[in-house]
Amino acid sequence: MPGHAPSSVTGITSTGITSTGIASTGTASAGISGVGPSSLGVPVAAGVGDTRTDAATPVSSGVRMSAGGPGADPVLVEIVRNGVIAVTEEMKVNLMRTAYNMIIYEALDFTVGLFTKDGDTVSIGLGLPMFIRGMAETVKAKIRHFGADGFQPGDILLTNDAYITGSHLNHLTFTAPIFYAGRLVGFSCCMAHWPDIGGTLGGVTTDIYSEGLQLPILKYARAGVVNQEIHEIIRMNVRLPERAMGDLRAQVTAIRTGERGFLELIGRYGADAVLGSIATIMEHAEAAARARTSAIPDGIYEAESFMDDDAVDIARRVPIRVRVVVSGDEMTVDLSDVAKQVRGFYNSGPTTGLACAQVAFKCVTSPTDYPVNDGSFRNLKVVLPPGRIVSATRPAPMRWWMTFPMTVVDTIFKALSKAIPGQVVAGHHADLCVATIDGYHPDTGGLFISGLGPLGGGWGAKRSEDGVSATVCINDGDTHNSPNEQFEAKYPVVVESLSLIADSGGPGRHRGGLGVETVVRALSDFNVNTSIERAVCLPWGLEGGLEGTGNEMLLRRDGIVDDDVPNAKVFRATVRTGDAFIMRSGGGGGFGSPLERPPAEVAHDVRQGYVSLAAARDYYGVALDPETLSIDEPATAGLRRQLVASHRMRVAMQRDAPRRLERRELASLPPGHLAVRCLLPSCCGRWHAPRGFSAVEAQS
């Protein structure tokens, strides 16, 4: 393994990233687990200093471990490797089995994990990839707050501070110290989403104070005794306390499961042997990451994209610019030119900025290496000044924290496509596509609050294959959508349809994945809110592939669908009995020229309903018999010759991220034309190339 100096450990403060160089002798760990009112807890990992890092200084996202090494027993190392994975999986299962809200037990909006005594990630039970950094930094912040000696068995630490976790106030993070023979050996942690934490129900928030109850770092329990005052404060500030307190107890169950499992592992093999094995696992992860980074050509790679708006300044684009530097076996992701924090609630904290870089980095260097641990990131540096949309400072609103980071990850892939095109995908739909509803149930008269989604959508194609369809966005990883049957059974709705959207995948030699449409009809009046992005900024293609369609949110009133909307954001709209909302996720971008896709594959897509006859002609240059769907080979050859120049011009002139055709532009095109420019010279070809946008960076 290449030698290197001990790397910095990043911490998080409300003003940005902090770092201090240390050499850890513990093991690295990452994870989440929860605590509850009547349960003993598990403490968090130890933290580091909080010296402010200069905005231009790269910081390491991992911790160098000095324990372990080549002398470790390889058999025991593999036992421990699988043991910590098993523990976090059991934490995950027990949380799902005991949670009260569907967003936890069905959608899996949570993460659990184990950490070293210093707060480094050992293993996380896969949930939301963006929690990969948030949990570890939250544990470290708790250690800094109480001090390395400030814990005792039975403590339960709690916070939902958005500027520490990097996400919104709905994510409550419970942490418990793990003691063995009086010695602190690690932490068990659980971060999970609560559907309600107070605050306003609808509309866009413009500061953190309107988003709900804020809990600073505190001890929910001391030495096994729950602080009932804190318990009652939480209970009084949520709209559905029975469900909230049920989820709290479920999180306690999860962290206690982690504590028990880790102690069983140590009890069987010994603390020093287990901790040394974890250190060796981290060294292995680092060596693998360095070797794979070395295979990427050295260079500076840049890319940009944009978000539609911040929901306050409508149609004012929010630019996303990234710079990736590869040098030997190290990579630096520079997010200095990502937009400054915005007035609307799409900001996230600096731990999320770090997570953007880590998720992209792991995807290209160690996507299937487990357990997920901090050793994998020791050779990754991140430049992240405070005050950006992924390093926001108080009191920036954070309620919809998860949306912009997905496009940051997408844009990092876009930058790296110039170096490793075979290892990245084209742009994907990059949004949860979730609708939240609230109202009073006609049968009980009681308040209900719920969400539909995540809907899933199209992912970008790869150089070797089509993109996947109806798949959850990169932020949410392992999360699922809730079954329609449960949604209908619990709430006054009927899901009229759930279907793939024809022609939504970006045309290419390999086609982008398809988006999904769902139509939900109201059986009684309720309110609906969506904060969907990337309606205008379309999922881009690579190497000549075309863009996929964007996300959409529409309302159907009295049988009429209103499609005259500037974006996909709907705030506090009332859906009357018999009316409906229509949610559509975008498709993924294509890879390679669509004129190079074999006509037989295009014909197959048409037969399956993935591509229409018109799109086969206008985007792929394939002529099919409308009745038999057989290929007219002479007509196809002639059509493709006709479209080559149009495609070449379009790709050459596409300097900006592709955008959705505006309503006035669609009005001049044939009825039913997609909101994506086609290749026909007589149609969209007369514009020669997509008109670029002028991105104006939103100010804080």
Q: What is the pLDDT of residues 339-382, one digit of tens each?
A: 999 999 999 999 999 999 999 999 999 998 999 999 999 999 99
Q: What is the mean pLDDT of the chain?
A: 87
The whole-angstrom separation of Cα 538 and Cα 55 is 31
- The whole-number pLDDT of residue 21 equals 25
The values of phi and psi at residue 277, to 5°, are -65, -40
Q: Check pLDDT > 60 for residue 695.
A: no
Q: Check pLDDT > 90 for residue 177.
A: yes
The whole-angstrom separation of Cα 462 and Cα 446 is 48
Question: What are the beta bridge partners of residue 221?
Answer: 156, 226
Write out the H or E segment, with its range, that includes residue 333: strand 330-334
- Which pLDDT band, with edges at 50, 70 and 90, does 135 fall under? very high
User: Model confidence over 655-680: pLDDT tens digits?
Assistant: 677 999 988 889 899 998 999 999 99
Section 294-309 average pLDDT: 97
Nearest to 350 by CA among 391, 322, 385: 391
Q: Check pLDDT > 60 for residue 519.
A: yes
Buried-state track 296-318, b at ≥16 Cβ within 10 A, e below 16: beeeebebbbbbbbbbbeeebbb
The whole-angstrom separation of Cα 104 and Cα 93 is 11
Q: Check pLDDT > 60 for residue 480.
A: yes
Q: Could you tell me which residue, 106 or 164, shows the higher pLDDT?
A: 164
Nearest to 359 by CA among 410, 315, 434: 410
Assigned domain for 87 exists: yes
Q: Check pLDDT > 80 for residue 387.
A: yes
Nearest to 64 by CA among 5, 115, 105: 5
- The whole-number pLDDT of residue 69 equals 54
- Collapse the DSSP code of 162 into the 3-class scheme (helix H, G, I; strand E, B; otherwise coil) and give the result: helix
Assigned domain for 7 exists: no
Instruction: Note down the domain range covering 217.
Output: 24-47+67-288
The whole-angstrom separation of Cα 596 and Cα 187 is 53
The answer to whether the beta carbons of residues 370 and 132 sit under 8 Å apart is no
List C-alpha distances in Å: 563 to 313, 457, 527, 555, 566: 20, 20, 19, 8, 9
Q: Check pLDDT > 70 for residue 392.
A: yes
Helices (H), 295-450: 350-365, 403-416
State the distance between the two ends of the chain, measured CA to CA, in whole angstroms.
Answer: 44
Assigned domain for 72 exists: yes
Assigned domain for 380 exists: no
User: Model confidence over 413-449: pLDDT tens digits?
Assistant: 999 999 999 999 999 999 999 999 999 999 999 999 9
Nearest to 570 by CA among 401, 462, 433: 433
Question: What's the domain count of the chain?
Answer: 1
435-440, strands of its sheet edge to edge = 447-452, 435-440, 526-532, 568-575
Q: Give 14's Cβ-side CA count (13 Å radius).
A: 10
Q: Check pLDDT > 90 for residue 231.
A: yes
Residue type, 141: A
Buried-state track 89-123, b at ≥16 Cβ within 10 A, e below 16: ebbbebbeebbbbbbbbbbbbbbbbbbbbbbbbbb
The answer to whether the beta carbons of residues 530 and 311 sit under 8 Å apart is no
- DSSP-derived secondary structure letter, 382: E
Q: Check pLDDT > 50 for residue 11.
A: no
- The whole-number pLDDT of residue 565 equals 80
Section 116-121 average pLDDT: 97
DSSP string, 246-276: HHHHHHHHHHHHHHHHHHHHHHHH-HHHHHH
- The whole-number pLDDT of residue 686 equals 63
Residue with tokens 């544990």: 139
- DSSP-derived secondary structure letter, 696: -
Looking at the chain, the whole-number percentage of residues with pLDDT higher than 70 is 87
User: Model confidence over 491-512: pLDDT tens digits?
Assistant: 999 999 999 999 999 999 999 9
Assigned domain for 132 exists: yes
- The whole-number pLDDT of residue 458 equals 97
Section 143-171 average pLDDT: 97
- Which pLDDT band, with edges at 50, 70 and 90, does 562 fall under? confident
Q: Could you tell me which residue, 168 or 692, shows the higher pLDDT?
A: 168
Helix axes 228-236, 241-269, angle to 10 degrees: 140
Tokens coding 682: 């007589």
Nearest to 119 by CA among 227, 240, 28, 235: 28
Q: Check pLDDT > 90 for residue 335.
A: yes
Q: 466: Cβ–Cβ under 8 A, 6 or more apart, which residues? A: 505, 510, 511, 512, 513
Assigned domain for 637 exists: no
Q: Check pLDDT > 70 for residue 20.
A: no
Assigned domain for 477 exists: no
Q: Check pLDDT > 70 for residue 410.
A: yes
- DSSP-derived secondary structure letter, 52: B
- Collapse the DSSP code of 633 into the 3-class scheme (helix H, G, I; strand E, B; otherwise coil) and give the result: helix
Burial of 354 (0-12, 13-18, 19+ CB in 10 A): buried
Section 614-624 average pLDDT: 97
Assigned domain for 269 exists: yes
318-327, strands of its sheet edge to edge = 59-60, 380-383, 330-334, 318-327, 299-307
Q: Check pLDDT > 90 for residue 564.
A: no
Say if residue 598 is preceded by a cis peptide, omega within 30 of 0.
no
Nearest to 115 by CA among 150, 97, 91: 91
- The whole-number pLDDT of residue 44 equals 28
Beta strand segments in 472-567, E: 493-500, 516-522, 526-532, 552-557, 560-562
Provide the phi-psi class of 543: left if phi over 0, else alpha when psi is between -120 and 50, else beta. left
DSSP string, 602-623: HHHHHHHTSS-HHHHHHTT---
Write out the H or E segment, with its range, that includes residue 164: helix 162-165
Question: What are the beta bridge partners of residue 306?
Answer: 319
